[in-house]
Amino acid sequence: MIAFHQIDAAFSATECAQLVEIARAAPSQDAGLVRAGRDHNLRRADLTWVDDLPETAWVMDRLIDLVRQANRAVFDFDLQDFSESPQIARYGAEREGHFGWHSDIGDSPLAARRKLTLVTQLSEEGAYAGGTLEVWMNANVATAPLKQGTAVLFPSFALHRVQPVTEGERFSLTVWAHGPAFR
């Protein structure tokens, strides 16, 4: 199985900039872990939930279409729904924003049903240093592209991380597709 499937230009530069500006203007919360846990050694980021933002109804339609296309072409997972709002994460250099190695499948009722993760690069290339998204699959680590608007999809059980941001800030858009347990 590949580390991730890449979709170039999943969102235009204008759409990415619009989402970043909307997220900047909205209240954010410190990123937590499953079951409302917090561990700043594992994860340091600020989150905004897309469902709470004005003028973003179109985002979920786009994400559903991207997941549908990628799942048909590459993964062929039994997907049933999107039970969680997409999130925009901000990883800032002022606190070395990062997310250590983890998988997106967890113990909570929603996280246990995550099957496919989609992450879209919202920041412009060169807007930050560090902050690379890495996916570990089949004993290989693959680095996701930094090109603005690029989406990567990978199985939610894959280990992945965001390296610490050392300059600037990185914005990304993440959503999970849900389904019955893998068997």
54 lies in some domain:
yes
pLDDT digits (tens, 9 = 90+) for 111-152: 999 999 999 999 999 999 999 999 999 899 999 999 999 999
Kindly provide the b/e burial profile for residues 38-49, where b requires at least 16 CB atoms within 10 angstroms of the residue's own CB: eeeeebbbbbbb
Containing structural domain, residue 56: 5-31+42-178
- What pLDDT sits at residue 16? 98
36 lies in some domain:
no
Q: How far apart are CA 98 and CA 44, in angstroms?
A: 5
132 lies in some domain:
yes
| Domains contained in the chain, number | 1
pTM of the model: 0.94
